Amino acid sequence: MRRREFISIAAAATAWPFVARAQQANMPVVGFLSTRAPEESADVVEAFRSGLKERGFVDGQNVKIEFRWAHGDYGHLPALASELVRAQVAVIAALGGDPSALAARAATTTIPIVFAVGSDPVKEGLVESFNRPGGNLTGVTTFTNLMEPKRLALLRELAPGVPVMGALVNPKFPPAAAQARDIEEAGRAVGQRIVFANASADAELDGAFETLVKAGIGALMVTADPYFDTRRDRIIAFAARQRLPAIYQFRQFALAGGVLSYGLSFTDVYRQAGRYTGMVLKGTKPADLPVDQITKFELVINMKTARALGIKISDNLLSLADEVIE
């Protein structure tokens, strides 16, 4: 090799890391703010990346994602949101339920925010209307927090004649009071006695389990809440130890060994949030993106768990199921 060629190659090799860093420095940054934990969110993170890719953005190539995880502790969210604002991210994807969206809204009125919530974003004050969000927020709503009466009805089908049912509620979750009220009213309408147990931290979760055991519950309802998502293995293990028929808010619970789940496909929710984030990166204003309403719910039954716990699944439930795990 000639000396001049060698010097050119060596110079190019030396320059490459600087070029790569310069390219990364020019990438837009998406702040991913989540109530949940990374170890139980791999599937939804991949769905979010997939949605971004559909709009032309690939993590590490022409966009960078900065992750901030609350691990189910909503008290951490304001500080995490402020970190992303100080980093001057291009967009904040506030995902994993209402607490992330509320924390992001409180942190900035200028950085675009794409949310995924389980309640009515108009009533929560996140947007002015579904068609014309106004301000710097838009996103996806699932209304999963409003489906507790339906889950109670399905639990009664799963465990007919049970005199006392338990409901696990997180009092620090913003929609918790409405969830408890809806469950109580639905139970009263059909003469079902329900014992509520509150938990928003690990020590409280153990206490809630003890409360439910002492009350002699014969079935368990776990309300839609991101904290419970981060602790799903512990909750499923408790239900298994007590041999309780139980219902949860989305498919991942059934996949992890829960008997029954009724809710939306969270991967669909995160994929759509990724698409919206990509559209904002391309210049679309949140105020011009109508809030998307995902309304297709799925009933998933884990027959393997049901058989192991001696729980009989009615023919009617099986006919309603969108997926049966054998």
Return the SS3 of 33.
strand
CB 267 within 8 A of CB 109: no
β-bridge partners, 315: none
Q: What is the pLDDT of residues 19-32, one digit of tens each?
A: 334 345 579 999 99
Strand 292-293, strand 260-263: pairing: unpaired
* Pairwise pLDDT comparison (196 vs 13), residue with the higher score: 196
Q: What is the pLDDT of residue 24?
A: 53
Smallest CA-to-CA distance from 130 within 295, 13, 246, 19 is with 295
pLDDT at 230 over 60: yes
Smallest CA-to-CA distance from 53 within 301, 277, 230 is with 277
pLDDT at 14 over 80: no
Q: Please, which pLDDT band fits residue 295 given cuts at 50, 70 and 90?
A: confident
Write the DSSP symbol of residue 61: T
CA 324 to CA 257: how far, in whole Å? Answer: 12
Q: What is the pLDDT of residues 153-203, one digit of tens each?
A: 999 999 999 999 999 999 999 999 999 999 999 999 999 999 999 999 999
Tell me which CATH homologous superfamily contains domain 145-263+298-325. Answer: Response regulator (3.40.50.2300)
Q: What is the pLDDT of residue 142?
A: 85
Smallest CA-to-CA distance from 30 within 113, 137, 141, 116 is with 113
β-bridge partners, 92: 31, 113
The average confidence (pLDDT) of the chain is: 91
Smallest CA-to-CA distance from 285 within 101, 103, 138 is with 138
Domain ranges of the chain: 3-142+266-293, 145-263+298-325
Please state the pTM of the whole predicted model: 0.86
Q: Please report, as a single letter, which amino acid is at residue 88.
A: Q
Instruction: Mention the CATH class of domain 3-142+266-293.
Output: alpha beta
